[in-house]
């Protein structure tokens, strides 16, 4: 247990919270945004699974690597369809399995039977060539053709639904001795939530990706990267001559690359910057879900390799985060400070209620944050997020993604008002997660109008603050001391700021453009 912190002092003076300096730790392997988002190393391919809708799914297996997922979307013609082709070996016979239809539906299917594998392979390769205009042998350099299907990269598991979480320590497949879970009840529930497959599915369904029915399998990081490439093409095409036709064509390309389930509705045209930003956010969420599932699969593999005694699965998931979470006593003054900060800045809309608060200590983040010891002007600020990316944030920290952006450019966004950050929270069963981070702002550059071109703070500045027309009453701010540094914490209700009455921002937004300038301090589990 970490030493209990004392109450923070008001500006006028008083007690200050102290914390012991920490021991530097080895560097984290997931600190690079690009690694975490697009390709954090070679992707592990699992064994291909026979399509669950095939009658041979229980008795057969995919022959070698003859298995593909194809997709084709055409906005103008209201096409949004898939094609599955597999060679299946079962009972000394060889089969080609074809299934096709609209994304999100089971569709139609056909099973052909052959005596020899060569015959089945020949049939598979012919169908692949007919549908894609590519040779199967050249699939590593696949080229998409107009009016034909595109090959979709998947992770080796045809079924996008990961196996049901095992939280009771019983897998049903072996007799290994699974140790009891060592986590406290609240932390156990949190870990179960942020690694929950049901939660991931819920998040993806909200993005029109129905993974329960979607026959295309789980998208790979490579496929997500291709999606970003198409969005960049769409951005470049906006405002040009013949733009409408080109945007419809590129929208078809995007939905072909990243399959969506629109039911029987026509796929929409991506024709505004707002839609592009939403699709970028969707892809970043998918990448973080992929990261969380990768962590989970690594812990499952580690358990399989153990001989007799294995840790509880939730302990394994917790360990994979390389992040210490310490549940905070609700009677402590620190908890009361956080609770006050939430209540006075929550606004009149969502009114979140604290379920639990954890102190966060990410491995190596303290060492990285210490690079900014010379920066003063530190504040404890809000950051809201999708619950589906919480595991990735705990593992990799708050990151500046290569494709991210916003009203104040490509940086990490914080707010001094909970209501502002709460707008970015995506819940699961009315439960959401928010972070409080210590942010080393240093010298602030104040702006009152949008500037989406920013990728770093202006010369001689360390951060950018888009000042809002209201701000938590500065006279009510208090200071706490974290690792020897004074950190201000708002405790007053938002009040008008006459000097910024003409600002384009209602609530202030605090931007840093270096990941090392922030450190996660608290995780709040909220009832929204």
Instruction: Name the residues annotated as catalytic.
Output: 509
Which has the closest alpha carbon to 84: 59, 44, 57?
Answer: 57
CA–centroid distance for 267 within its chain: 24
Residue 305's H or E segment, with its range, is: helix 273-305
Q: How far apart are CA 287 and CA 389, in angstroms?
A: 9
Q: How far apart are CA 201 and CA 199, in angstroms?
A: 5
The answer to whether the CB of 48 falls within 8 A of the CB of 236 is: no
Task: Extract long-range pairs of 299-305: CB within 8 Å, 24+ residues apart.
Answer: 303/176
Q: How far apart are CA 19 and CA 22, in angstroms?
A: 9
Instruction: Point out which residues pair with 357 in neighbouring strands.
Output: 524
CA 400, 404, 410, 413 torsion: positive or negative? negative
Instruction: Point out which residues pair with 472 in neighbouring strands.
Output: 494
Q: What angle do CA 160, 162, 168 make, to 5 degrees?
A: 165
The answer to whether the CB of 447 falls within 8 A of the CB of 466 is: yes
Residue 46 burial (CB count, 10 A):
12
Give 108: exposed, middle or buried? Use CB within 10 Å, 0-12, 13-18, 19+.
Answer: exposed
Give 180: exposed, middle or buried? Use CB within 10 Å, 0-12, 13-18, 19+.
Answer: exposed
Q: In Å, what is the CA distance from 77 to each residue of 80, 115, 268, 284, 463? A: 9, 40, 11, 29, 48
Residue 306 burial (CB count, 10 A):
12
The answer to whether the CB of 497 falls within 8 A of the CB of 470 is: yes
Structure tokens given for 497: 């700021």
């Amino acid at each position: 247990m970490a030493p209990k912190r004392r109450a923070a002092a008001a500006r006028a003076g008083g007690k200050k919270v102290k914390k012991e300096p920490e021991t530097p730790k080895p560097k984290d392997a997931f600190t690079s945004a690009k690694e975490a988002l697009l390709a954090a190393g070679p992707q592990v391919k699992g064994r291909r699974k026979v399509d669950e809708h095939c009658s041979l799914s229980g008795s057969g297996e995919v022959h070698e690597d003859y298995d593909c997922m194809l997709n084709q979307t055409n906005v103008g013609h209201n096409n949004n369809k898939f094609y599955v082709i597999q060679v299946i070996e079962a009972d000394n016979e060889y089969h080609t399995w074809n299934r096709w239809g609209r994304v999100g539906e089971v569709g139609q299917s056909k099973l052909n039977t052959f005596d020899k594998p060569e015959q089945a392979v020949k049939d598979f390769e012919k169908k692949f060539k007919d549908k894609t205009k590519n040779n199967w042998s050249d699939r590593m350099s696949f080229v998409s053709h107009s009016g034909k299907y595109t090959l979709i990269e998947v992770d080796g598991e045809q079924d996008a639904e990961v196996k049901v979480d095992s939280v009771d320590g019983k897998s049903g497949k072996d007799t290994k001795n699974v140790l009891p879970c060592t986590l406290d009840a609240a932390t156990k529930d949190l870990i179960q939530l942020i690694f929950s497959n049901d939660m991931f599915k819920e998040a993806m369904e909200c993005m029109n990706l129905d993974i329960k029915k979607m026959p295309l399998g789980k998208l790979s990081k490579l496929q997500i990267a291709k999606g970003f490439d198409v969005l960049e093409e769409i951005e470049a095409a906006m405002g040009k001559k013949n733009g409408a036709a080109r945007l419809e064509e590129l929208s078809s390309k995007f939905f072909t690359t990243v399959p969506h389930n629109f039911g029987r509705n026509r796929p929409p045209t991506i024709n505004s910057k707002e839609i592009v930003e939403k699709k970028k956010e969707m892809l970043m969420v998918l990448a973080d879900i992929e990261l969380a599932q990768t962590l989970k699969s690594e812990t499952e593999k580690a358990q399989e390799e153990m001989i007799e005694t294995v840790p509880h699965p939730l302990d394994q998931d917790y360990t994979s985060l390389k992040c210490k979470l310490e549940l905070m006593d609700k009677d402590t003054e620190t908890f009361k400070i956080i609770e006050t900060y939430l209540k006075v800045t929550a606004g009149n809309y969502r009114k979140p209620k604290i379920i639990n608060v954890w102190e966060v200590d990410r491995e190596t983040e303290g060492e990285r944050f210490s690079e900014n010891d010379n920066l003063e002007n530190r504040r404890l600020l809000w950051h809201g997020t999708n619950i589906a990316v919480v595991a990735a944030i705990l593992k990799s920290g708050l990151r500046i993604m290569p494709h991210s952006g916003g009203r104040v450019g490509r940086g990490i966004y914080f707010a001094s008002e909970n209501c502002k950050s709460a707008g970015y929270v995506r819940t699961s069963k009315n439960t959401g997660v928010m972070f409080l981070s210590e942010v080393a702002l240093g010298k602030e550059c104040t702006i009152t109008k949008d500037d989406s071109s920013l990728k770093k703070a202006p010369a001689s500045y360390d951060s950018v603050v888009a000042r809002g027309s209201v701000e938590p009453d500065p006279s009510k701010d208090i200071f706490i001391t974290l690792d020897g540094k004074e950190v201000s914490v708002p405790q007053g209700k938002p009040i008008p700021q006459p000097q910024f009455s003409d600002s384009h921002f209602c609530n202030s937004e605090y931007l840093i453009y270096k990941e090392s300038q922030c450190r996660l301090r608290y995780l709040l589990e909220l009832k929204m």
